[in-house]
């Protein structure tokens, strides 16, 4: 069913309130963070004003109700990604912390010097630096799979680099720079054939395509609330139950323990052994409402809308003189993230000029400096699209780019 974009936008107060220079907001930076529908904002506010109480630590009514709501979101998340149990869902502060948890708690206890971890050239810093830190601590080796000429994941190179030394494969589900979406099912199957575990950085993928962890058979999956219409400060780590059982705790403190003495402690059951301290209760409850909203729109409808948008953006960018687009030029296995440069304008100048027209894009290295090096640039402009974007937003972007160049030429004269 085609999305009614104006109806969807009416659910987001930012689009009513963020007019500048007599222009409505055209928001094209959802790859960085997505805006929040009113129902998410209300859910978080209502929790603080009406239902606030600490979770899992009180027997009074407010605490019991807060705990029920908090844990019901864990069930929602498990259903959303089709996990086997809510016990496989660990709350974190975001996808970055989730990846760090895997590197520290699984990598440090299960790997040894000389073991190999496979990454790709597409990775965000958050899926490189934790593994570099692990390398520095215990002496593992990082191996990078190259991209093809058309900026796809090179499966032949991946198969060549897999070996008995490979212990972890950690791959983005969608590049935050190029929009490239690797074949995660095939990647996982090949890794498991070598006895390696697979972690998927789903920060960009889960909000747009959803994911079925049972189908993929991945061992770990990381993603964030704020990129899928929910609050900031809430992330998810899915882990297979048998892996969580053998991993040491992430942090020490309240709620991750079963019993404490002066000379030792025992850990709580999954998933609580990885959730030390008072959590972001309001954020989690807001995230639950975001999942409800996505489900009400329909994930398949969002996917179809974004596929259509992606095809239109590619056509407009490829036909516009002066746009240098980075990444796959067809919509197949590609997300709605578009990095580009325009003529001889610096990406920061592009961002500033578009901002004058109330068009919000990203400009910079997008926390992917190694990939920028492969592209042969220091930075790019980036436009990313979500369920509240329309073809008209694409047209406004292209028109504003062309106007910006003319303005700058006249200013130089």
Of 136, 210, 155, 147, the residue nearest 175 (C-alpha): 147
Residue 413 has pLDDT above 80, yes or no: no
Q: How confident is the model at residue 407 (pLDDT cuts 50, 70, 90)?
A: low
105 in catalytic set: no
All structural domains of the chain with their residue ranges: 5-30+299-412, 41-295
Residue 27 has pLDDT above 80, yes or no: yes
41-295 folds as 3.40.640
Bridge partners, 221 (sequence order): 200, 238
DSSP label of 329: S
* pLDDT recorded at residue 410: 63
Of 171, 124, 96, the residue nearest 366 (C-alpha): 124
What the block records as the tokens of 5 is: 């974009």
CB 307 within 8 A of CB 92: no
* pLDDT recorded at residue 408: 63
What the block records as the tokens of 163 is: 């070996």
Q: How confident is the model at residue 56 (pLDDT cuts 50, 70, 90)?
A: confident
Buried b (16+ CB within 10 A) or exposed e, 338-353: bbbbbeebebebbbeb
Return the beta strands (E) in 313-357 as ranges. Answer: 323-326, 337-342
Whole-angstrom distance, CA of residue 344 vs CA of residue 307: 30
Whole-angstrom distance, CA of residue 28 vs CA of residue 354: 11
Whole-angstrom distance, CA of residue 375 vs CA of residue 395: 26
5-30+299-412 architecture in CATH?
A: Alpha-Beta Complex (3.90)
Q: At what angle do helices 391-412 and 347-356 cross, to 10 degrees?
A: 110
Report the predicted TM-score, pTM, of the whole model to 2 decimal places: 0.96
Residue 272 has pLDDT above 70, yes or no: yes
């Amino acid at each position: 069913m085609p999305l009614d974009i104006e109806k969807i936008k009416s659910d987001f107060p930012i689009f009513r309130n963020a007019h500048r220079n007599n222009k409505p907001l055209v928001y094209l930076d959802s790859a960085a963070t997505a805006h929040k529908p009113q129902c998410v904002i209300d859910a978080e506010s209502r929790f603080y004003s009406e239902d606030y109480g600490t979770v899992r630590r009180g027997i009074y009514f407010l605490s019991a109700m807060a705990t029920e709501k908090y844990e019901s979101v864990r069930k929602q998340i498990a259903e959303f990604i089709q996990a086997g149990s809510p016990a496989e869902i660990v709350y974190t502060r975001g996808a970055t912390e989730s990846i760090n948890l895997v590197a520290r708690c699984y990598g440090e206890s299960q790997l040894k010097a000389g073991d190999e971890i496979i990454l790709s050239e597409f990775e965000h810093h958050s899926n490189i630096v934790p593994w570099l830190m692990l390398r520095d601590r215990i002496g593992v080796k990082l191996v990078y799979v190259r991209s093809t000429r058309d900026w796809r994941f090179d499966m032949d190179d991946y198969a060549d680099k897999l070996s008995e030394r490979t212990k972890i494969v950690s791959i983005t589900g969608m590049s935050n720079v190029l929009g490239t979406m690797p074949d995660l099912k095939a990647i996982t199957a090949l890794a498991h054939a070598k006895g390696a575990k697979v972690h998927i950085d789903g920060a960009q993928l889960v909000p747009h395509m959803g994911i079925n962890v049972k189908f993929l058979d991945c061992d770990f999956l990381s993603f964030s609330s704020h990129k899928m219409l929910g609050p900031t400060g809430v992330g998810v780590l899915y882990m297979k139950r048998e892996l969580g059982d053998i991993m040491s705790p992430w942090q020490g403190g309240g709620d991750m323990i079963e019993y404490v003495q002066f000379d030792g402690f025992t850990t709580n059951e999954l998933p609580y052994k990885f959730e030390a301290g008072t959590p972001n209760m309001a954020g989690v409850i807001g995230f639950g409402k975001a999942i409800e909203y996505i489900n009400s729109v329909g994930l398949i409808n969002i996917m179809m809308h974004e596929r259509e948008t992606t095809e239109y953006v590619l056509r407009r960018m490829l036909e516009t003189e002066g746009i240098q687009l980075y990444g796959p030029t067809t919509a197949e296995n590609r997300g709605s993230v578009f990095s580009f440069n325009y003529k001889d304008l610096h990406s920061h100048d592009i961002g500033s000029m578009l901002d004058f027209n109330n068009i919000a894009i990203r400009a910079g290295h997008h926390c992917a400096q190694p990939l920028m090096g492969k592209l042969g640039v220091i930075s790019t402009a980036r436009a990313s699209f979500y369920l509240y974007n329309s073809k008209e937003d694409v047209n406004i972007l292209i028109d504003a780019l062309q106007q910006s160049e003319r303005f700058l030429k006249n200013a130089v004269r």
